Amino acid sequence: MSPRANAVTLTGVRAGYGATPVLSETNLTLASGECLAVTGPNGGGKSTLLGLLVGLLRPFTGQVEIHGSSPRRARGRIGYLPQAARLDLEFPLTVRDLTAMGRLRSTWLPQRLRAADRAAVADLLRWVGLAELAARPVAALSTGQRRRVLLARALATEPDLLVLDEPEAGIDAESAERLQQLLSSLIGSMTVVVASHDIEGIATLATCGVTVDHGLTPWSGNGGQDEPSRGVGDPPDETDGRFPEHAGAIGGSV
């Protein structure tokens, strides 16, 4: 099998807020097309790790590379679904407008959407099951519908790397299942990083996983048979050791 280019590389990263580090000496590599599950306790540093990947946070020391570039340079290749709690969606944008923002190449130049952009937005809204709500203000959506429109916006950028921060947070079982189906249909077509507390759900999607608790620990359980650097294997105990068959076929490393 030919080696694949790394989508994500973190080398010796130390990062946090103010002068306080959350992550120290953090290393991670993720090959293109993998789906990395990011789990761990509240405050462990999952969103911090994701913030580094999308360029919202710069490391104190060390290097973050997305397809060989800095996250800021690579931002056109990254789709990001932020954590729900960090978003204020009470502005008067419609579902269609918010999704279309993902098609804009910059946020400060006045731009017109081309017909192809409008068609892509309509396709995405159909795909996430929100076509009929396209003209509705985002503020009038339910939590699950908001997660889906934000997923559509993240995908509207046609990303090589999709970064999702707790996509299942605050949504009902039916919406969670729909999200799960949407995500599973993306696996393999792009690199995906998903932070989640739904360990069982994420384990069915992911090709590899890490637990983040002020450092990164790969999900292990392969009896040390793999190369020590590979971050693939069984999920943490909460899943009864279930992990999809394709896990380990392609691997991340920490």
Ligand X SMILES: Nc1ncnc2c1ncn2[C@@H]1O[C@H](COP(=O)(O)OP(=O)(O)OP(=O)(O)O)[C@@H](O)[C@H]1O
Quote the CA–CA distance of 37 and 59 in Å, as a whole number: 21
Stretch that binds ligand X, among 37-45, 113-121, 184-192, 233-241 (CB under 6 A): 37-45
Query: Rule CB under 6 A: is residue 48 a binding residue for ligand X?
Result: yes
| Among 1, 2, 19, 42, interactor with ligand X by CB under 6 A | 42
Stretch that binds ligand X, among 46-54, 127-135, 145-153, 233-241 (CB under 6 A): 46-54
Taking the complex as a whole, the smallest distance from the CB of residue 43 to ligand X amounts, in Å, to 4
Site for ligand X in 8-27 (CB under 6 A): 17, 22
Q: What are phi and psi of 129, to 5 degrees?
A: 75, 30
Query: Rule CB under 6 A: is residue 233 a binding residue for ligand X?
Result: no
Integer-rounded Cα Rg, in Å, for the chain is 18
Taking the complex as a whole, the smallest distance from the CB of residue 48 to ligand X amounts, in Å, to 3
Stretch that binds ligand X, among 45-53, 60-68, 171-179, 215-223 (CB under 6 A): 45-53
Q: Is residue 220 helix, strand or coil?
A: coil
Per-residue binder mask for ligand X (CB under 6 A), 49-68, x = binder: --------------------
| Among 15, 21, 40, 151, interactor with ligand X by CB under 6 A | 40
With respect to ligand X, which residue has the nearer C-beta, 147 or 230? Answer: 147
Cβ atoms of residues 191 and 219 within 8 Å: no
Query: Rule CB under 6 A: is residue 76 a binding residue for ligand X?
Result: no
Stretch that binds ligand X, among 44-52, 129-137, 225-233, 238-246 (CB under 6 A): 44-52
Q: What is the largest CA-CA distance in the chain?
A: 56
Taking the complex as a whole, the smallest distance from the CB of residue 188 to ligand X amounts, in Å, to 26
Strand order of the β-sheet with 191-195 is 78-81, 161-165, 191-195, 35-39, 208-212, 216-218
Please tell me the total number of residues recorded for the chain in this structure. Answer: 254
Query: Rule CB under 6 A: is residue 45 a binding residue for ligand X?
Result: yes
Closest CA to 190 of 82, 75, 78: 78
With respect to ligand X, which residue has the nearer C-beta, 166 or 234? Answer: 166
Quote the CA–CA distance of 206 and 33 in Å, as a whole number: 11
Site for ligand X in 177-216 (CB under 6 A): 212
Query: Rule CB under 6 A: is residue 46 a binding residue for ligand X?
Result: yes
Per-residue binder mask for ligand X (CB under 6 A), 210-229, x = binder: --x-----------------
Identify the DSSP state of 137: B
Query: End-to-end alpha-carbon separation of the chain, Å?
Result: 21
Cβ atoms of residues 217 and 234 within 8 Å: no
User: What burial class does residue 137 get, using C-beta atoms within 10 Å of its C-beta: 0-12 exposed, 13-18 middle, 19+ buried?
Assistant: middle
Quote the CA–CA distance of 64 and 74 in Å, as a whole number: 11
Q: Token digits for 165?
A: 């921060």
Interface with ligand X by CB under 6 A: which residues? 17, 22, 40, 42-48, 212
